[in-house]
Amino acid sequence: MIHYPELLKADTVNSVQSARCRFCGTQLRRTVVDLGVTPLCESFLTADQLNQMEPFYPLHVYVCEQCFLVQLEEYVSPERIFTEYAYFSSYADTWLEHCKRYADRMVERFHLTYQSQVVEVGSNDGYALQYFIEKKIPSLGIEPAINVARVAIQKGVPTRTEFFGTESAQRLVREGIQADLLYGNNVMAQVPNLNDFVAGLKILLKPDGVMTIEFPHLMQLVAGNQFDTIYHEHFSYFSFITVEKIFSTHGLNLFDVEELPTHGGSLRIYACHNDDTSKPVSALALALKQREQQAGLTELAYYAAFDEQVKETKRKLLEFLIEAKRAGKSVAGYGAPGKGNTLLNYCGIRTDFLDYTVDRNPYKQGKYLPGTHIPIYHPDKITETRPDYVLILPWNFKDEIIHQLAFIRTWGGQFVVPIPEVSVIS
Q: Give contact residues for Zn ion (rule: CB under 5 A).
A: 21, 23-24, 26, 64, 66-67, 69
Say whether the peptide bond before residue 420 is cis (omega within 30 degrees of 0): yes
Query: Least CB distance from residue 238 to Zn ion, whole Å?
Result: 12
Of 69 and 187, which CB lies nearer to Zn ion in the complex structure?
A: 69
**Residue 4: which H helix or E strand, with range?**
helix 4-8
Of 65 and 388, which CB lies nearer to Zn ion in the complex structure?
A: 65
Could you tell me which residues come within 8 angstroms of residue 409 by beta carbon, excluding any fewer than 6 positions away? 426
Whether the CB-CB separation of 164 and 142 falls below 8 Å is answered with yes
Of 38 and 239, which CB lies nearer to Zn ion in the complex structure?
A: 239
Of 70 and 369, which CB lies nearer to Zn ion in the complex structure?
A: 70
C-alpha 39/C-alpha 402 separation (Å) is: 29
Of 21 and 205, which CB lies nearer to Zn ion in the complex structure?
A: 21
Of 61 and 133, which CB lies nearer to Zn ion in the complex structure?
A: 61
Report CA-CA distances (Å) from 172 to 54, 63, 186, 272: 39, 34, 22, 19
Q: What burial class does residue 275 get, using C-beta atoms within 10 Å of its C-beta: 0-12 exposed, 13-18 middle, 19+ buried?
A: exposed
Query: Least CB distance from residue 222 to Zn ion, whole Å?
Result: 18
Of 24 and 318, which CB lies nearer to Zn ion in the complex structure?
A: 24
66: left (phi over 0), alpha (psi -120 to 50) or beta: alpha
Query: Least CB distance from residue 339 to Zn ion, whole Å?
Result: 25
Query: Least CB distance from residue 69 to Zn ion, whole Å?
Result: 5
Of 41 and 243, which CB lies nearer to Zn ion in the complex structure?
A: 243
Query: Least CB distance from residue 301 to Zn ion, whole Å?
Result: 18
Report CA-CA distances (Å) from 126 to 183, 307, 343, 421: 13, 37, 29, 34
Query: Least CB distance from residue 64 to Zn ion, whole Å?
Result: 3
C-alpha 145/C-alpha 162 separation (Å) is: 8
Query: Least CB distance from residue 71 to Zn ion, whole Å?
Result: 8
Residue burial 64-97, b: 16+ Cβ < 10 Å; e: rest: beebbbbbbbebeebeebbeebbbbbbbbeebbe
Of 24 and 203, which CB lies nearer to Zn ion in the complex structure?
A: 24
Smallest CA-to-CA distance from 157 within 177, 133, 173 is with: 133
Query: Least CB distance from residue 22 to Zn ion, whole Å?
Result: 8
Could you tell me which residues come within 8 angstroms of residue 313 by beta carbon, excluding any fewer than 6 positions away? 225, 227, 418, 419, 420, 421, 422
Query: Least CB distance from residue 333 to Zn ion, whole Å?
Result: 37
Instruction: Give 288-323 as a 3 state SS string.
Output: HHHHHHHHCCCCHHHHHCHHHHHHHHHHHHHHHHHH
Q: What burial class does residue 161 get, using C-beta atoms within 10 Å of its C-beta: 0-12 exposed, 13-18 middle, 19+ buried?
A: middle
Of 62 and 334, which CB lies nearer to Zn ion in the complex structure?
A: 62
Report CA-CA distances (Å) from 36 to 32, 252, 347: 13, 37, 10
Of 69 and 344, which CB lies nearer to Zn ion in the complex structure?
A: 69
C-alpha 386/C-alpha 410 separation (Å) is: 9
Whether the CB-CB separation of 306 and 32 falls below 8 Å is answered with yes
Dihedral of CA 195/289/100/92: which sign? Answer: positive
Query: Least CB distance from residue 196 to Zn ion, whole Å?
Result: 16
Residues counted in the chain: 426
Query: Least CB distance from residue 67 to Zn ion, whole Å?
Result: 3
Whether the CB-CB separation of 292 and 269 falls below 8 Å is answered with no
